[in-house]
Chains A and B, each alone.
Chain A
Amino acid sequence: MYLSRLGVLAAVASCGGTCEAPPPSDAGPADSGPDSGLTDCPDAGFLGDPDSPPDLEIIAVQPDGSFVPILDGDEVGLHTPFQGGKVILAGALLTNVELVDCGRLRVGALLRDPTQPGEPAVYNEERHVRYEPMPDRPGWAVPRLINDERNMAPNLESCGLDPYPRDTDGCEWILEVRLEDSRTREILASERLRIMPICPEDDPGDTDVPPELELEQCTCQCAANYTGGRCDKADLPKWIDPPLDCE
């Protein structure tokens, strides 16, 4: 049902047309060249039912650019992206949306703490993601793979230097994914699910430590109250994972 990475690449290859650029800024960059602003990209128009509001289904993008749906209560892998850190690439399939501006739509992801009043977002990221029609699901749009998986979904940094007094790895959190208006940031559609972020046994993006230490590094970085230097390579073999702190 869902596209593999190969399927996404095939879909990209079939794109045609030229997209409209958004209104120019009054203060454009000094080095904008004549080639900037135009590229081949889908001219897909409206996908879905124009009389229905936008809707989404939450997905987790994988390090290889494939993706899987996230269902309520699912475990979701924490991965090391190009830029480092530990992220959940939490994105969305979309319907009842119009693909203009090269299919660029603003998607946000928030990791909320269910133990606190109001379930505040502890981590969040919003970005423009380029969408294209989903070949095997009429009326739906799928993130387009450009360069690598980081461009397919918000990079929801879920551990690290903005410390929080609660474990990320192994605790239940609320994942919210949103479609927002690209210019006003108004929320057009959103969904929340209970998830459990999990450090994977094998993290292909983590080249900083030997494979046998990847899990230790992740659990160390994603335990409560992270401080810089806590997970140094030299110290990892001595890292003792404290009791799970989900309160």
Chain B
Amino acid sequence: MLSATRFLTLSAALAALSGCPGEGPPPPGVTLPEPDQGWQFEVAEFDVPAGHEIQNCYFVEVPEDEEVCVARIEVAQEPGTHHMNVFRLGTQIDLWGEAGDVVYGDSEDRTTPCWRSGNWADWPLVVNSQQSDEGGHYDWTMPDGVVHHFAPGEVLMIQSHYVNGSTQVGEVGHVFVNFHTVPCDGTQELGTMFATNQGIDICPGDLGIEFSSSCGNGFTDPVTVIAANSHYHSRGRNFTIEPYDPIAGEYGEPFYENESWDDPLMATDLDVTITPDQRIGWHCSYDYAPPAGGTTCEDLDAINASKEPTCCYGFGGIVDASEHCNIFVYYYPKVEDFSCI
């Protein structure tokens, strides 16, 4: 049964944010002014107990009564965020909600639907941010004429993950996302790609171990990649994204490279052409490190469904006990929103 709980609607959330008369000023923390044209989503503050990871899925509604076009997205997050992803809804498996619902996920119970990536495997990516410094402020204006389209009342899912563990410390979660709208006339729609390599396994002794793959059957016309981001955990050493030539079976020159695992580069100044005979490839490499901060080899083996004690890090969302190998790519004009999971 879906473990969704009704939570604050957008308006109620904003009312809660503003506080009640006579209660004094809100506590200090991250803030973000609302956009002049557009709307703001806010994920209200939540505590992240020591030794826990919190990953909540918030369902929100586009508060517009006609199709809108968004050319700029701003995100502000309380420092210590691990990631924040916004998705459109796709196939309903075990994760679902209506506007105002939230599905909570504490790492103490990894069976909750907000932890299981298969539940949003084909949900189109809207935007992601992992910026945890400078107030987690991130401001992305797309190239002239390139926009996200949103239907009136469209329901989106904001997934916020905070870690208060050995590798990241975020004691309070708090997220704002601003969508700045522009007229839709003469614009081209943005498309996205969210892809993962879930067959990774990083075992004792592995230094520089690398996994490579590609995604993107279906580019029927040339497209331009304008932004990219990557995601892995603290064993991550190097991450690159590049065009892939399926006939030669070779990767081209990287248009994205990142070595920071906890504050990865969001490249927003790209201008890379992907032709119909190409796909998008990526490489993730890792250096093994023993589990720390109360995480044990038994934890790793349990998460990784290991057949024998090995203390390897498999694919998973728990930062201290598993690894990721995920790419986020933004391009135009939209062919489809690719999901390779």
Bound CA span A27–B262, Å: 12
Q: Which residues of B have CB within 8 Å of A38?
A: 205
In contact, A147 and B287 (Cβ under 8 angstroms)? no
In contact, B287 and A102 (Cβ under 8 angstroms)? no
One of B5-13, B58-66, B148-156, B302-310 at the interface: B302-310
Q: Which residues of B have CB within 8 Å of A29?
A: 234-237, 261, 287, 289
In contact, B210 and A128 (Cβ under 8 angstroms)? yes
Q: Which residues of A have CB within 8 Å of B140?
A: none
User: Counting CB contacts under 8 A, is B187 at the interface?
Assistant: no
Contact of A122 among B246, B251, B259, B262 (CB under 8 A): B246
Contact of A163 among B218, B235, B244, B246 (CB under 8 A): B218
Bin the interface of chain A by size.
35 or more
Contact of A127 among B121, B166, B210 (CB under 8 A): B210
Bin the interface of chain B by size.
35 or more
Contact of A27 among B199, B217, B237 (CB under 8 A): B237
In contact, B210 and A32 (Cβ under 8 angstroms)? no
User: Counting CB contacts under 8 A, is B268 at the interface?
Assistant: no
Contact of A106 among B210, B238, B244, B292 (CB under 8 A): B210
| A33: nearest chain-B partner, CB-CB | B290
Chain B nearest CB, measured from A174 CB (Å):
11
In contact, A121 and B287 (Cβ under 8 angstroms)? no
Give chain B interface residues in 61-112, CB to chain A under 8 Å.
Answer: 90-93
Given contacts A29-B289, A31-B166, contact A150 B201 (CB under 8 A): yes
Contact of B234 among A30, A164, A176, A227 (CB under 8 A): A30
In contact, A125 and B211 (Cβ under 8 angstroms)? yes
In contact, A146 and B198 (Cβ under 8 angstroms)? no
Contact of B292 among A26, A33, A121 (CB under 8 A): A33
User: Counting CB contacts under 8 A, is B41 at the interface?
Assistant: no
User: Counting CB contacts under 8 A, is A14 at the interface?
Assistant: no
One of B19-27, B44-52, B178-186, B333-341 at the interface: B333-341
User: Counting CB contacts under 8 A, is A161 at the interface?
Assistant: yes
Chain A nearest CB, measured from B253 CB (Å):
12
Bound CA span A178–B261, Å: 30
User: Counting CB contacts under 8 A, is B208 at the interface?
Assistant: yes
Contact of B287 among A32, A84, A127, A229 (CB under 8 A): A32
Q: Which residues of B have CB within 8 Å of A157?
A: 199, 213
Contact of A146 among B237, B261, B312 (CB under 8 A): B312
> How would residues 143 to 185 of chain A score, 1 for a CB under 8 Å from any chain B CB and 0 otherwise?
0001110110001010011111000000000001010001001
Closest 7 CB pairs of A and B: A228-B122, A39-B205, A155-B199, A83-B198, A229-B91, A120-B246, A118-B247
Spell out B's residues near A (CB within 8 Å).
Answer: 90-93, 118, 121-122, 166-167, 197-199, 201, 203-218, 234-238, 244, 246-247, 249-251, 259-262, 277, 287-290, 292, 304-308, 310, 312, 314-315, 338-341
